Amino acid sequence: MDPLPEGAPPEVVLVPNNDVFYRITLGNSLTNEDLISYLQKWPEKYQGEAKILASGVSVFDDLNAAKRKMKLPALRNHKGIAKLTLYPADGVVKKSFGKYHYTWWRTQSFDLSKAEMEAL
Amino acid sequence: MKELKLVRILDFYDEIQLFTAKDAVGCMYLCQLYESTADGSDYLCVAISQDRLDSFLKGILDLREALTQPEISDQYYKVVMKKDVIQAFDLAKNDVQESMLPEEGYFFEPDEQTEDIDMIRESENCGSPLIRLALEDEKNGHEVSAECLSGVLAAYRNLLNSCYKKRNDKEVLKLDVVALKAASFDIHFKVDTSFDLLMDTPLINELSAIDDLFCFEDIESYKSKAVKFKGRILNSFVLLLNFLKENKLSLRHKWVKSLTDGKVQSRYTPFRSIAKMCDFLESENDLCKEIREFCGVFLASSVEESGKWTMRCEKIDGEPKTKDISGTSSDPQILSGVTIEQKHYRIQCEEIQTIKKATMKVTKKYILVKKDEIES
């Protein structure tokens, strides 16, 4: 993982402890590609404070909210939803943008194999 | 091409998926992401009336319907978001591809209360956090005396500024009253500040502190909480409580916490709790005491009557600042032996805040409690 930009993660965050979140995946399993932040993908696209948000990845604390997002055209090519049970060592999350949405700043120690795929 | 201004992020997944925006003349637009590249993000956009937008925000209107059956049937836009700039370009109806549209069944998660939606809309329109104070008398009547109303306004503004100053070491926040509504007398304020990047109000700490102060369960737990706000904040709070108590008013304090979450914070405090808090805080004098420290030379002093003095300050609370301050003394003898204009002193004063009934302005009085001579 690239180093996080200045100000990321923000000061007020939650440290997950056995908390379940859902991440939409490109294929039928969770891969490193699914957890690449937009800032890593397109470092020149974001400026200033927008970099902070783009340095995390989106997760939901509700499965149906994740399913609903897959109706949007930008996520239509995504095929699965991974269930992630996060612990303090996996990073921090911040409630942001909507009822069920969180931004997750993950650590390198997060183990992809711990993710379980949800039936759609 | 027209430039748009982002109003509210409605959906986010790694980047903004859905948002509302307005143009230079206030027309609203609904914009949905369909393609993202390293260069920028492209959104399918339609103009939308407030009624139809409300219907979408209440979870009644399907997003697909909002985009495939816009109110102005042939008017589509391709909106390009590049860094901070949002530009809308005309898009022919025939160029709207199926791949740019959502599937059926995408409904926005509605906010819990319609009243909150209205408050959020009001906040979006003015671009500033909105606060409401609803005053309710015993009969839930639709009137309040002008004196009480102006007193509550002055005291609330003073309280918010005291909380703000504590955290930011500066004042003053400007509050504008934007509406007065009759139903159990309702005052809407706009705070002269903008939402932050996450569309949260930058005054979360101050407004949460006020909610916390208004939360009363019993004397014991309230006492331990009040210690956290010792000094000017409690002093300011008591000024507000006094107006509410004198007029036998209950209070609802509501404020827009976050535009993205559509979150409105609300706390109702009945008159009986207000009376108990007021009596308790007035009995605990020390909790409301704010001690200020001034350094400088005395321009005048008197050991008679109330021990009046005037100091030309060079430092206030440790910060270099030039200002003439006047006050009285807890014991006029503290001033005995003072050398006017020649020697430098460090003094400690108790700050007393009052609201002048004639002007409804908050004034501060200083009572000298300690004096030390210092090197110039």
What is the tens place of the pLDDT at every residue in B263-294?
888 888 888 899 999 999 988 878 888 899 99
Cα→Cα distances A115→A69, A112, A118, B78, Å: 19, 6, 10, 37
- Classify residue A76 by burial, with Cβ atoms within 10 Å: 0-12, 13-18, 19+: middle
The per-residue pLDDT for B349 is 95
Handedness of CA A26, A27, A30, A31 (dihedral sign): negative
The torsion angle over the Cα atoms of residues B218, B219, B224 and B229, rounded to 10 degrees, is 100
CB contacts, 8 Å: A95 with chain B: 261
DSSP B32: E
Residues of A in contact with B68 (CB under 8 A): none
| Residue B280 Cα distances to A57, B135, B274, angstroms | 49, 22, 10
Is A50's Cβ below 8 Å from some Cβ in B? yes
List, for residues A71-107, the tens digit of each pLDDT value. 999 999 999 999 999 999 999 999 887 778 999 999 9
In a domain, A118, yes or no: no
Calculate mean pLDDT across residues A14-25.
94
Other CB atoms within a 10 A radius of the CB of residue B107 amount to: 15
**pLDDT at position B194:** 73
Interface check for B280 against chain A (CB to CB < 8 A): the answer is: no
Is the distance from CB of B173 to CB of B193 less than 8 angstroms? yes
How far off is chain B from A106, nearest CA to CA, in Å? 14
- Nearest by CB to B99, which of A73, A95, A100? A73
Other C-beta atoms closer than 10 Å to the C-beta of A77 total 9
Q: Which chain B residue lies closest to A46 (C-alpha atoms)? A: B83
The letter for the amino acid at B55 is: S
Q: Are strands B250-258 and B263-269 parallel, antiparallel or unpaired?
A: antiparallel
Q: State whether A72 and B33 contact (CB < 8 Å).
A: yes
* Nearest residue in chain B measured CA to CA from A40: B38
Mean pLDDT of B139-149: 75
Residue with tokens 């609802």: B252
* Count: domains in chain A: 1
pLDDT reported for residue B77: 97
* Average confidence (pLDDT) over A38-55: 88
Percent of chain B with pLDDT over 70: 94
- pLDDT tens track for B312-344: 999 998 889 899 999 999 998 898 888 999 899
Does a structural domain hold residue A90? yes
Residue A15 CB neighbours (<10 A): 13
Report the residue of chain B nearest A94, measured CA to CA.
Answer: B198
Quick one: pLDDT at residue B198? Answer: 64
pLDDT digits (tens, 9 = 90+) for B10-66: 999 999 999 999 999 999 999 999 999 999 999 999 999 988 998 888 777 999 999
User: Is A9 contained in some domain?
Assistant: no
Distance from C-alpha of B292 to C-alpha of B282, rounded to nearest angstrom: 20
Q: B15: helix, coil or strand? A: strand
Phi, psi of B207 (to 5 degrees): -70, -35
Concatenating the DSSP letter of every residue in chain A gives: -PPPPTT-S-SS-B--SSEEEEEEESSSS--GGGG--HHHH-TTT--TTHHHHHTSEEEES-HHHHHHHTTSGGGTT--EEEEEEE-GGGEEEEE-SSSSEEEEEE-TT--GGG-EEEP-
Instruction: Chain A: give the shortest CA distance to residue B61, in Å.
Output: 15
Q: What is the pLDDT, as a whole number, of residue B287?
A: 82
Answer whether residue A33 is part of any domain. yes
Q: Does A44 touch chain B (CB under 8 A)?
A: yes
Q: Which residues of A touch B96 (CB under 8 A)?
A: none
Q: State the pTM of this model.
A: 0.55
Whether A91 is covered by a domain: the verdict is yes
Distance CA B313, CA B259 (A): 44
Distance CA A98, CA B365 (A): 47
Measured distance CA(B252)–CA(B364) in Å, rounded: 28
Interface predicted TM-score (ipTM)? 0.94
Condensed to tens digits (0 to 9), the pLDDT of residues B97-128 reads: 999 999 999 988 765 555 677 788 888 888 88
Higher pLDDT, B329 or B218: B329
Residue B183 phi, psi dihedral angles, 5° rounding: -50, 105
Residues of B in Cβ contact (< 8 Å) with A10: 198
Q: The domain containing residue A37 runs over which residues?
A: 19-109
If you ran DSSP here, which 8-state letter would residue B200 be given? B
B107: phi then psi, degrees, rounded to nearest 5: -115, 140
Name the closest residue on chain B to residue A44, using Cα atoms. B38
Give me Rg for the CA atoms of chain B.
Answer: 27
Distance from C-alpha of B331 to C-alpha of B368, rounded to nearest angstrom: 8
- Does some domain include residue A101? yes
Contact yes or no for B254/B117 (Cβ under 8 A): no
| Mean pLDDT along residues A23-28 | 96
Among chain B residues, CA nearest to A60: B13
Residue A64 lies in a domain: yes
Question: What pLDDT is attached to residue B245?
Answer: 93
**What percentage of chain B has pLDDT greater than the value 90?**
43
Tokens representing B228? 């956290």
Q: What is the rounded CA–CA span in Å between residue B211 and residue B268?
A: 9
Residue A54 lies in a domain: yes
Task: Write the residue in A37, A72, A99 that is nearest to B109 by C-beta.
Answer: A99
Which amino acid makes up residue A37?
S
Cβ count near A72 (within 10 Å): 21
Token reading at B181:
């509504």
